[in-house]
Structure 1
């Protein structure tokens, strides 16, 4: 986007279209009647100027939190003051969620990122303390006067991110703003002004002052953005990734002169992009995106140069799964997300080799069973992991996976594969073998499950016969005391 008259007219037209909202007009008139200033601010204005539909409406005001609540109550169906200590109150007006924050003039001690909260007395100073110029634009209400003291509109039209004041001071005040910088690059597709980039590199280590939960939240927003790769590159290039996700820059393995392996860093970013392309109508998938980004993080630890100059990464899938679990735990990710991501990483190499070695139906069943509810994501991850530039090899891999998916569908139709279970459950096993609950039941169940996977459905009678034959070979069958104290085994 360029700063041309037509671009400016288009942006202002989009802004005024939003300002025509009856909700915004009602709020502007109400605060003016109460003798208070009110302005639409921040992301609400930014997105309107970009012609994007916003979700929430953010306002800043001269009114205290109590005064804001008093003015909001007659207009709202609900209101809350959970952020009252920081000057923020919220309400639902005409079905829309609005937040109103008293002008702020915070100060920082630079030992933590938490400010000493202080209320301000004018709009311009409130805008000065915001993270980036594109978020430091306001519209006074109800008169619709644009307030842009730091050139945010020009930066918005030029697609540039910079801070309202000196970037070094801004990032010293709040190191999390460096993560937000990367997030906005991913969300908006903007570039970073050189001074801001230099300051981010200089202050990269201070991100460790920020709680893991806050870093995680910014990382999730970045990953769920339209182009997370651009934001991730910024984290790596500024050195911030070394402190929040060190496994990512570690993928930049030193190339040998004969290039015996791919650039794992670039490969991982390509896999992420290709996984996003495969998401379909379901929208952004955090688990899939994390798995795509981290699927090869085990390679640096498993890299070996074999005789003849061949580079290998044996068991990098298993090592990577453990590393991903450790990193995601450190970032306080949800246990369910951690489990699913690490399992996908563990399984991501399972398919490769299918094209060279014919899989039995039993192998296909195991593939489905091991993937479980992650099968669809595993399909997408595996296809995204095909980044070879050799067209013939790429076509062969795609064809092989097409065939595998077809076989899965065919066997599923024949056998209800997604719900593979032995013909006998735990209760039936105990009844047939006349044993009590214990480890033996689990071993018997696994025997029957392996039988089911290897041979398909065999029927309850045959499963019972095979189970009894298996039991006759077990040492516990000769010693009733190890299975059912005080009972004989028939």
Structure 2
């Protein structure tokens, strides 16, 4: 047996084992549809992930049963059923920990203008598979009362899976013309699976890149987030940029190319930013952190607009963190990101250079407090971003930077032991301020509150008498 054949056999055995682990769901669901005289197939990403040994709890099925029949069958079988996708032939359900989607065979047609298909239900599995986005998602496994049975692969998706490539069932121009979002999905699969685009798929994206403008920004944003959170995010970003898609959806990323960084360590800021992204990913301790990853990739997007050639032959990027934060806000608003995500990514970009003023640990306690206060809930992410931003090849300098940041974290820990750094507030509240100064509620109280907060950051905690004396003195001088 040849090596590819041996690999195919091993992958199919792995998939069979993964599906046996889901036998309680598959067997009962297979029996349910078989008893009603219907076919049922596990399909798409579920089969792909089973072959790759990463099958999750989300299971996708296709069937010859029409939506009303699917719903009637699932109503008595599942714990919960919902029909939000019924116009597209999809009924969803939950059974224990498993999330189920069952969709009627589709034989859609597209107008090549919008991405919305004219939904048409089909009668054959092969007709359903050929309309899918990529061959690796066009494999199926027949489900019977005895569980998983025949493996069906009419478009040779297993060969693409073995080769680690992403290709379309039909000509890619036809596929992407039907639904341009598939171009971004191709990039997303590069990121999630570590696969590469076939030459014809890549060439078609380059040729048709403008078609992505037909897609709503909400769907583009969703694909970008899945890309940045992939296990192979660097390869995904490269595919996004090299194909020209980035120029259409987030041009600030390719805009970093050919902007030499001030240390002349990387060919351009783009390559530096990919390194920072990878190092930030390496510092993650749980699920992918979309805020941290975007901040790592975009932390230097302000450099092209702030690039200056210095008289000594060097290059500077003064205030690029300020410009970059504004650019993040503008782009993320255009992509309709939630305000909280936009604010968090922009604030990390704004703060990523602050540490470099720490020097040899010469910050005052006040400066440390302000660092923590300005970061707020983002402090742990800021720690990771700053450490990831060290990309020097000089081992001695890299070690020194990490040791200096270690020192800053120790100082933060010491101050946190002594005072509540997580919620730095004035030592007098608004009611106390109004009573002490004889003020009604209004802007003057807010001004006094902000003065006391600044004083708290400078001096640390004060007792009530000290705070009252300081406030009275400030008020007298102000008046």
Structure 1 length as normaliser, TM-score? 0.93
Choose from 234, 240, 246 the match for 1:235: 240
Contact 2:66–2:104 (CA<8 Å) still a contact in 1?
yes
CA deviation after TM superposition for structure 1 residue 424, in Å: 1.1
Choose from 142, 164, 169 the match for 1:164: 169
Q: What secondary structure does 1:75 align onto?
A: coil
Matches within 5 A, 1:133-282: 133-142=135-144, 144-255=149-260, 259=264, 263-280=268-285, 282=286
| Residue of structure 2 in register with 1:38 after alignment | 40
Q: What secondary structure does 2:81 align onto?
A: strand
| Residue of structure 1 in register with 2:112 after alignment | 110
**Closer, same or farther: CA 262–317 of 1 in aligned 2, 3 Å:** farther
**Closer, same or farther: CA 341–259 of 1 in aligned 2, 3 Å:** closer
| Residue of structure 1 in register with 2:101 after alignment | 99
Contact 2:303–2:324 (CA<8 Å) still a contact in 1?
yes
**Closer, same or farther: CA 339–148 of 1 in aligned 2, 3 Å:** same
Segment of structure 1 superposing worse, 285-294 or 445-454: 445-454
CA deviation after TM superposition for structure 1 residue 161, in Å: 0.9
CA deviation after TM superposition for structure 1 residue 259, in Å: 4.5
| Residue of structure 1 in register with 2:387 after alignment | 383
Matches within 5 A, 1:421-460: 421-460=425-464
Contact 2:79–2:95 (CA<8 Å) still a contact in 1?
yes
Partners of 2:405 and 2:132 lie apart in 1 by 50
Contact 1:260–1:311 (CA<8 Å) still a contact in 2?
no
CA deviation after TM superposition for structure 1 residue 253, in Å: 2.4
CA deviation after TM superposition for structure 1 residue 258, in Å: 11
CA deviation after TM superposition for structure 1 residue 446, in Å: 2.1
CA deviation string 1:367-401 (max 9, x = no partner): 11111111111111111111111112111111111
CA deviation after TM superposition for structure 1 residue 359, in Å: 0.7
Segment of structure 1 superposing worse, 116-125 or 90-99: 90-99
Q: What secondary structure does 2:192 align onto?
A: helix
Partners of 1:256 and 1:295 lie apart in 2 by 13
| Residue of structure 2 in register with 1:83 after alignment | 85
1:310 aligns with 2:304: no
**Closer, same or farther: CA 448–173 of 1 in aligned 2, 3 Å:** same
Partners of 2:433 and 2:136 lie apart in 1 by 67
Gap regions ≥5 residues in structure 2: none
Partners of 1:64 and 1:9 lie apart in 2 by 35
Partners of 1:87 and 1:140 lie apart in 2 by 19
| Residue of structure 2 in register with 1:127 after alignment | 129
Segment of structure 1 superposing worse, 372-381 or 257-266: 257-266
Gap regions ≥5 residues in structure 1: 476-490
Partners of 1:444 and 1:80 lie apart in 2 by 54
Partners of 1:58 and 1:441 lie apart in 2 by 59
CA deviation after TM superposition for structure 1 residue 140, in Å: 2.2
CA deviation after TM superposition for structure 1 residue 99, in Å: 1.2
Number of matched residues? 473
Partners of 1:373 and 1:18 lie apart in 2 by 40
| Residue of structure 2 in register with 1:484 after alignment | none
Structure 1 outlier segments of 4+, above 4 Å: 254-262
CA deviation after TM superposition for structure 1 residue 346, in Å: 0.8
Segment of structure 1 superposing worse, 90-99 or 391-400: 90-99
Structure 2 length as normaliser, TM-score? 0.95
Partners of 1:297 and 1:258 lie apart in 2 by 16
Partners of 1:369 and 1:74 lie apart in 2 by 54
CA deviation string 1:241-276 (max 9, x = no partner): 001110000000255999587620011111111111
Partners of 2:259 and 2:425 lie apart in 1 by 47
Contact 2:262–2:315 (CA<8 Å) still a contact in 1?
no
Q: What secondary structure does 1:59 align onto?
A: strand
Partners of 2:433 and 2:466 lie apart in 1 by 13
**Closer, same or farther: CA 73–258 of 1 in aligned 2, 3 Å:** closer
1:341 aligns with 2:339: no
Partners of 2:420 and 2:91 lie apart in 1 by 53
Contact 1:355–1:396 (CA<8 Å) still a contact in 2?
no
Q: What secondary structure does 1:40 align onto?
A: strand
Contact 2:38–2:63 (CA<8 Å) still a contact in 1?
yes
1:284 aligns with 2:288: yes
| Residue of structure 1 in register with 2:64 after alignment | 62
Q: What secondary structure does 1:428 align onto?
A: helix
Q: What secondary structure does 2:91 align onto?
A: strand
Partners of 1:106 and 1:432 lie apart in 2 by 73
CA deviation after TM superposition for structure 1 residue 439, in Å: 2.0
1:16 aligns with 2:20: no
CA deviation after TM superposition for structure 1 residue 95, in Å: 4.7
Partners of 1:348 and 1:90 lie apart in 2 by 43
Partners of 1:192 and 1:250 lie apart in 2 by 23
Partners of 2:79 and 2:454 lie apart in 1 by 60
CA deviation after TM superposition for structure 1 residue 310, in Å: 1.7
**Closer, same or farther: CA 457–54 of 1 in aligned 2, 3 Å:** closer
CA deviation after TM superposition for structure 1 residue 232, in Å: 0.8
Segment of structure 1 superposing worse, 103-112 or 134-143: 134-143
